[in-house]
């Protein structure tokens, strides 16, 4: 997003869900006066899968060995499950959602690197707690491919031309239904419902959950 667009949004807070390595490589450029809050979702992960897999795209042979044959999909599904149970993920999402329910911190934005995985679960969970049906949330999530794949087309073409497995780029640079469904399944296994995920997993009680709906849906 260009700086001019950010200025037009009159943002108050920018929530950065990336790892330290990602932030150091590409620091956020923000308009004056916008507060940046760092929430490292994957700080407790052994390997920050979504944060690191894109680097493999620069080496088609290495990517074929590490990510081919369904390995990329398996790694992403494992990472999405981590969004539910990692202590760093729970702490990060708790802070993010509480901030999104605080009108004094709005307008705000949240992002990771590609804006589809850590950011994808944040958007999916928040829409779900607001009452959006899960299938609608998944359909909205899948629309990310309409923007991401064309944006990465040159990278994808170079990867395939260099001998890369053509099934890998969509799995790494795009999104798949099974990724988000893995997070929902883990959430349901651990907590049963989205409301209990927020209350028991994130420490955001029913009163605070209602405040989200009051703020975003105008319910009283």
Domain residue ranges of the chain, discontinuous segments joined by +: 3-213
Token pair in block for residue 145: 């491919």
Greater confidence (44 vs 220) lies with: 44
Mean pLDDT on 180-185: 98
- Looking at domain 3-213, its CATH class is alpha beta
Q: Tens digit of pLDDT for each residue in 149-158?
A: 999 999 999 9
Residue 57: pLDDT over 70: yes
pLDDT at 54: 67
Q: Which residue do the tokens 């705000």 mark?
A: 108
pLDDT over 90 percentage in the chain: 84
Alpha-carbon distance of 128 to 151, in angstroms, equals 28
Mean pLDDT within 83-92: 98
Question: What residues pair up with 39 in beta bridges, in sequence order?
Answer: none
Tokens of 76: 């992403």
Q: Which residues of 133-170 are buried (b: 16+ CB within 10 A; e: fewer)?
A: eeeebbeebbebeeebeeebeeebeebeeeebbeebbb
This prediction's pTM: 0.94
Question: What does the pLDDT look like over 11-24, one tens digit per residue?
Answer: 999 999 999 989 99
Task: Give the residue carrying structure tokens 């990336």.
Answer: 18
């Amino acid at each position: 997003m260009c700086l001019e667009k950010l200025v037009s949004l009159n943002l108050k807070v920018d929530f950065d869900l990336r790892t330290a390595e990602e932030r150091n490589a590409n620091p956020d450029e923000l308009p004056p006066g916008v507060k940046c809050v760092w929430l490292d979702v994957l700080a407790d992960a052994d390997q920050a899968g979504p944060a690191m897999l894109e680097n493999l795209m620069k080496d088609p042979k290495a990517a074929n060995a590490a990510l081919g044959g369904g390995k990329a999909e398996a790694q992403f599904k494992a990472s999405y499950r981590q969004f539910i149970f990692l202590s760093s993920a729970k702490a990060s999402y708790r802070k993010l959602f509480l901030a999104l329910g605080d009108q004094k911190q709005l307008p705000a934005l949240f992002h990771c690197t590609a804006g589809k995985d850590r950011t994808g679960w944040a958007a999916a969970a928040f829409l779900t707690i607001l009452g959006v049906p899960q299938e609608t949330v998944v359909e909205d999530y899948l629309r990310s491919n309409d923007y991401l794949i064309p944006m990465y087309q040159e990278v994808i073409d170079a990867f395939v031309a260099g001998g890369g497995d053509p099934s890998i780029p969509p799995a790494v640079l795009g999104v798949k239904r099974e990724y988000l469904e893995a997070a929902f399944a883990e959430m349901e296994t651990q907590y049963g419902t989205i409301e209990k995920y927020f209350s028991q997993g994130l420490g955001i009680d029913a009163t605070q959950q209602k405040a989200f709906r009051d703020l975003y849906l105008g319910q009283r």
